[in-house]
Each structure stands twice: as structure tokens, then as C-alpha cells.
Amino acid sequence: MGEYMDKINQYKKNAMIITFIILAIGVFMVYDASYIWSEFKYGDRFYYLKRQMIFALIGIILFFIGKKISLSFLKKHINLLLLISFLMLGMVLIPHVGLIRGGSSSWLGVGPISIQPSELFKISLILYFAKFLSTHYKDTMKIKSFILPIFLCIFGIFLIMLQPDFGTSMVILSAIIIMMFTSRLKIRYFVIAFFILLLFIGILIILAPYRAERITSFIDPFKDPLGSGFQMIQSLFSVSPGGFIGLGIDQSIQKYFYLPEPQTDFIFAIIVEEFGLLGGTIILVLYALLFYECFQIIRYSKDEFNAYFSLGILSLFLVQVLINLGVVVSILPVTGITLPLISYGGSSLCVLLFSLGLMLHKENS
């Protein structure tokens, strides 16, 4: 057992180092990508950098707090945690209580401190599923046993959709599906689920036709270059001119107001524009390494609960990475999902670091 312990602690140490490397690159790139807009909007080219540094600092603190928190403690109080999450998701929808940012009522808060209940819900739901899957592992052959968890999951997602926050909903749903995939549940359910998902997307498109435009524009962005294809084209105009080694540090042209808010969704485009295929590949490799370490951590987990929890957190993380990069290189339609650890954004960064901290907590039998 001790040998396993050493191994898993080594993987966790590696994962932590890679996380901080990516985070450092992120902080620099937030500054590099944002200072033009920052100066234009706030008269201060360091506005986003300063905030991102504060977020990163808080995130790192939360990371180390997470490392100290015992998972069995959380496991015990999971129902309470889930209840609080649901209450907050409900509160956010009450007019004048939820804060509206970027068209969505996703925030709760007083003064400078504000949080996104959906972020808390993510972790609560994953804890809940981890507990459920690990305690009912034998019964997970049939979908029947999943009635309550699936109901809770869909209800939560439904509340998030009301904000509306399509991106976060998709990420949570994907993470839950991945967790269920690693149970004993028969594969055919996933095939069925896949078609249900298609139906779900279809309904969403009917409810809000602008999503259909996004999807068609991703196939041929030049059809509507100033409308739905605009962001795709601007992203391509960053990525392709980058070439093999890029235009050089700080030489991006697209960050000069061509890409809207280049420090968030399209930060990877700026990375490729300035550092080329080489820079882009390094980022991809770093993420791949991080995923690898995390998969190893899951394999060597001491019990199912730990494994499922880690897998849930990893799923949240990698789904966002894959979707964001997919959008930037024009494989996926524009979704509004940021690049974890690199994109500008306080709440999501802090929660991510905190959850990685939980996942990487030191194990001593």
C-alpha cells in the first residue's frame, strides 16, 4: 500500500506543479491580451492584470485550503451542501437579488465579494454523485437506480439554464455523464443518452434560434462575417497568421479591438497569434500532461469515492478545456466557455483551484 501511496503523492505533486505553470502563463497572457482594451475601457492597462493577480492569489490560498479539507468530512455533509446550492441557485433568479452580468443573472453578492452559485453547485453535485456511485456501485447496472440523482442533476441544470447560462449547464451535464460512464451502467444507456442530448440541443435551438445561427456560422463563418460568423473569423484571423513561431511577444494585431475581450474566451487565439503553432502546442501538451497526472491519481485512488470525486473534478476541467480550444480552432461553435487556468475570470478560477486542491489533498492512509 505504501508504494501506491508514494506513487499517488508523486502524481499529485506533478499535477500541482503543472497547474501552477499553466496559471503563471495565464496571468501573463491575461495582461498581454487585455491591456489594449483595459486602457481603452478603464484608462489603466493593468486593470485586468491586477484583478487576475488577486484572483490567482485567492485561488492559490483556496487551493491549499482545499488540500487540508478531508473529503470524508464533505462526504458526511453532502446533503446539506447540495441543499444550500439549490437555495442559492433559486435566489439568483429572484430579480434584484441576483446580479446581472453579461446578460445573465448568475451572481450573488454584496459589495466587491460576489460568487456564482452555479460554481458551488458543480462541486456539490459532483460530491453527491461520487458518494452515490461509490456507495451504490453494485446497483449501477440499471438506470432505475439513478432516478433521484438524475432528477437532482436535471433540476439544477434547469435552474442554471434559467439564468441563462448554457455553457455551464453543458459542462456540468458532460461531467456527470462521464462519471456515470465509469459506473457499471450498460453502454446502451449512453447511446440512448446521446440521442436524448441531440433532442435536448434541438429543443434549445428552437427556444433560442440564435444558437442555430452560431452552429451554422461555425461551418461557414464567412457567410455572415459581421454577424454570427464574426467571432469565428476574428479567431481565425489570430490563429492562422501566427504561423509556426507566431508574430512575437506583444505583436498581436487582433488584440487591438478586433477580438472582443481577448482575455477571456479567445485568449488561446492570442497565444497562437503571438507564439504560433509552437506556443499553442506547448499549452496543449501542458494540459495533456495535467490530464495524464489526474488520470493516474484516479487510477491509484484509495477508494471509489475518492476516484469518482477526482474524476468529476477532472471532467469539469477537461470538458471546458476541450470545448474552449475547440471553439478557438473552429472545430466547435462559439459557446462562451473560458479556458480554465488561463482566461481572465475570478470566480471560476478560484473555484477551480479550490476543487483541484480538494482533489490533490495529501493522502496519509
Partner 1 sequence: MIKKTMAKRILFLFIIVLIMLFTLEGKLIYSTLFLHQEILSLADDQHMRSFPLKAPRGLIYDRNLSVLAENSPCLSLYAIPYQVKDKEKTANLLANILNVKEDFILERLNQRSSMVHFSTYGMKLDYETSLKIEHLYLEGIYLVSDYQRIYPYKTYLAPLLGFVGSDNQGLAGLESKYENYLKGKKGYLNYYTDAKGGLFKEMESEIINPMEGISLSLTLDLGLQNILERELEYAYDTYEAEETSGIIIDPRNGEILAIANRPTYDNNEYQKYDPSIYNKLLPINNSFEPGSTFKAMTFAAAIEEKKIDMLSDTYYDKGYEVVSGTRISSWKKGGHGLQTFLEVLENSSNPGFVEIARRLGKDKLYEYVQKFGFLDKTGIDISGENKGLFFSYDKFNELEQATTAFGQGISVTAIQLVSAFSSLINGGILYRPHVVKALISPGLKEVIEEKKPEAIRRVVSKETSDKMRYALECVVSKGTGRKAYVEGYRVGGKTGTSQLAYDGNYVDGKYLLSFIAGAPMNDPRLVCYVSIKNAKHTVQYGGTTVGPIISRIIHDSLSYLNVPHQDGGVERIYTWMDQKVYPVENYIGKNKKEIKSSHFTFVFKGNGNKVIDQIPRVGTLLEENSCILIELGEQDELKSN
Residues engaged in binding partner 1 (CB under 8 A) = 4, 36, 137, 178, 181-184, 236-237, 239-244, 253-254, 256-258, 272, 276-277, 280-281, 284, 287-288, 291-292, 295, 298-301, 303-304, 307, 311, 318, 322, 325-326, 329-331
CB of 332 to partner 1, least distance (A): 10
CB–CB of 343/30 below 8 Å? yes
Nearer to partner 1, 78 or 178 (CB): 178
Nearer to partner 1, 36 or 93 (CB): 36
Task: Please give the order of strands across the beta sheet that includes 113-115.
Answer: 99-101, 104-110, 113-115
Residues 6+ apart with CB under 8 A from 197: 173
- Written as nine digits, the cell of 27 is 496571468
Nearer to partner 1, 160 or 239 (CB): 239
Nearer to partner 1, 32 or 165 (CB): 32
Residues 6+ apart with CB under 8 A from 91: 97, 98, 108, 117
CB of 262 to partner 1, least distance (A): 11
Nearer to partner 1, 55 or 275 (CB): 275
Nearer to partner 1, 200 or 237 (CB): 237
Could you count the other beta carbons within 10 Å of the beta carbon of residue 227?
11
| 113 DSSP assignment | E
CB of 101 to partner 1, least distance (A): 24
Sequence-separated contacts (24+) of 48-52 with Cβ below 8 Å: 48/263, 48/344, 51/344, 51/346, 52/26, 52/27, 52/344, 52/346, 52/349
Nearer to partner 1, 158 or 256 (CB): 256
Residue 218: alpha-carbon gap to chain centroid? 21
Q: Report the candidate in 220, 173, 184 with the shortest Cα–Cα distance to residue 165.
A: 173
From CA 123, how far away is CA 317, in angstroms rounded? 12
Nearer to partner 1, 89 or 298 (CB): 298
CB of 135 to partner 1, least distance (A): 13
The CA distances from residue 285 to 142, 162, 315, in Å, are 38, 36, 17
CB of 226 to partner 1, least distance (A): 10
CB–CB of 117/160 below 8 Å? no
Nearer to partner 1, 126 or 239 (CB): 239
CB of 114 to partner 1, least distance (A): 30
Q: Helix 47-68 to helix 346-359 angle, to the nearest 10 degrees? A: 20
CB of 303 to partner 1, least distance (A): 8
Tell me, what amino acid is at 328? V
Torsions phi, psi of 228, nearest 5? Answer: -65, -25
331: left (phi over 0), alpha (psi -120 to 50) or beta: alpha
CB of 272 to partner 1, least distance (A): 7
Nearer to partner 1, 176 or 350 (CB): 176
CB of 308 to partner 1, least distance (A): 8
Burial pattern 109-147, b for ≥16 Cβ within 10 A else e, equals eeeeeebbbbbbbbbbbbbbbbbbbbeeeeebeeeebbe
CB of 244 to partner 1, least distance (A): 7
